[in-house]
Amino acid sequence: MKENIKIRAATVDDAAQLLAIYTPYVEKTAITFEYDVPSLAEFAQRIERTLQKYPYIVAEKNNHILGYAYSGTFINRAAYNWSAEVTIYLREDQRQKGLGRKLYEALENISRAQNILNLNACIAYTNAEDEYLTNNSVQFHHHLGYRMVGVFHQCGYKFGKWYDMVWMEKLLDAHPIKPSPIIAFPDLNR
């Protein structure tokens, strides 16, 4: 899988390919609690907003995007600046091939360069797996060194069922008395 895979920053021009990856998650799973597929314009705006401060990256092979990952604001208060929420989506035919690990490793390296210390993942969870949700995402994050830190019970309702939501975290580095300032993603290459 890893041969000829290029990890690069997403652009607004990637929105159609990224939306095509995201759409089945909205329509067929409880992995996202979003009910309606966003418009292409809304999705492009999401990418643009994220890239103002955080990385939004894609895995590409032969000019086809296979998956994407990004980070964003954990909680919009200054004290949380050293924490970011992470998200990943892979094309349906690209799961369990090592691509998720490759994207997350790149995202973690960028986050470290930004001086972000904590990565947090908000994940849909179920006590009884069904056709809409398995707990593969929790297992994936655990395998990459994330640990469970909290459960919100029956907080998401989709497809006529209640689902839990869990938070997992990964600490990227030591937490100094005075942390270095956060570097916005677009400024890393300047």
> Which strand (E) or helix (H) includes residue 122?
strand 118-125
| Best CA proximity match to 141, nearest among 172, 176, 180, 170 | 170
Domain presence at residue 68: yes
Domain presence at residue 79: yes
Give SS3 for 114.
Answer: coil
Asked whether residue 34 carries a pLDDT value surpassing 50, the answer given is yes
What are 73's strand-pairing partners? 84
* Percent of the chain whose predicted confidence (pLDDT) is above 70: 97
Tokens representing 105? 């490793």
Q: What is the mean pLDDT of the chain?
A: 94
Distance from the Cα of residue 112 to its chain's centroid: 16
Distance from the Cα of residue 151 to its chain's centroid: 18
pLDDT score, position 1: 45
The pTM (predicted TM-score) of the whole model is: 0.94
Domain presence at residue 163: yes
Give SS3 for 51.
Answer: helix
DSSP state of 116: -
Domain presence at residue 141: yes
How large is the angle between the packed helices 40-51 and 15-28, nearest 10 degrees? 110
CA–CA separation, 138 and 50 (whole Å): 24
Average pLDDT (147-151) is 97
CA–CA separation, 48 and 66 (whole Å): 20
| Angle (nearest 5°) at CA 2 between 53 and 7 | 20
Domain presence at residue 21: yes
Asked whether residue 167 carries a pLDDT value surpassing 90, the answer given is yes
**Which structural domain, as residue segments, surrounds residue 165?**
6-180
- Number of structural domains the chain divides into: 1
pLDDT score, position 190: 52
| Best CA proximity match to 182, nearest among 90, 77, 111 | 111
Domain presence at residue 187: no
Domain presence at residue 176: yes
Residue 55: which CATH number?
3.40.630.30
